[in-house]
Amino acid sequence: MTEHLSRTALITGASRGLGLALARDLASRGWHLILDARRKDDLEAARAELAKLTRVVAIAGDVSDERHREALAKSARDLGGLDVLVNNASILGPSPQPPLLDYPLATLEEVYRINTVSPLALIQAVRNELKPGARIINITSDAAVEPYPGWGGYGSSKAALEQLSNILAAENPDLRVYRVDPGDMRTRMHQEAFPGEDISDRPLPEESVPGLIELIEGDLPSGRYEARSLHASKG
């Protein structure tokens, strides 16, 4: 990794949930941050909070928009390149989620565009800004490997992202490409997946952050990791 003061991370979906929790931790460590989210007001609130600790560039937009990805890449170039790219932004799809036989195909295409195609498109956009040994973290889910009824759209989009990550790592041994299951979390998306249910027993996103830091600042090989198990095994 590069020297502490020059480390820069780009995090998508950073205005709330896991993305914001990770951004807060990295900001406390002095990392420079490029943050993305669709909701401009929420993103500005995150920027204002984190700018008290470190240099922050916040760009609102949709990761499926090529012009938005180009703006993120330009910011990375202006900051001297990226040490870490975290593809965290994603969408659930319909809520409640329908079985695959009833899944609206136009919506399925949108889920794949955001959850699978856009992370790869952003990696392509910033490829020239990735520093030697840069980390790419693609946030996935246990739904990518477990056949949960009703999770066919989201789960299969994350399964495709996992295999993209796997092949990307094989093709680029100079990079660290991680596909990371953060575990169930008490987030807005998780609540949308279980409308009307009490999800207060789920861990907060902050509990998954230490495992991500292990990958960002450690020396683990490319591969699939469970964030909370990773941190627990070290402890």
**For the domain that residue 150 is a member of, what is the CATH number?**
3.40.50.720
Per the structure, how many domains does the chain have?
A: 1
* pLDDT reading at 4 higher than 60: no
Query: What's the token pair of residue 84?
Result: 């870490």
32-37 sheet: strands from edge to edge: 56-60, 32-37, 8-11, 82-87, 130-139, 176-181, 223-226
Q: What is the mean pLDDT of residues 43-69?
A: 98
Which pairs with CB-CB distance under 8 Å and at least 24 residues apart come from 64-72?
Answer: 64/113, 64/114, 64/117, 64/118, 64/121, 66/121, 68/36, 69/118, 69/121, 69/122, 69/125, 70/125, 72/10, 72/34, 72/36, 72/122, 72/125, 72/126
- Who wins on pLDDT, 128 or 95? 128
Question: Measured in whole angstroms, how far is the alpha carbon of residue 85 from the centre of its chain?
Answer: 8
Q: Which residues span the domain enclosing 31?
A: 4-234
Predicted local confidence at residue 185, as pLDDT: 57
Question: Measured in whole angstroms, how far is the alpha carbon of residue 176 from the centre of its chain?
Answer: 15
- Tell me the pTM: 0.92
Predicted local confidence at residue 169, as pLDDT: 98
Q: What is the mean pLDDT of residues 155-178?
A: 97
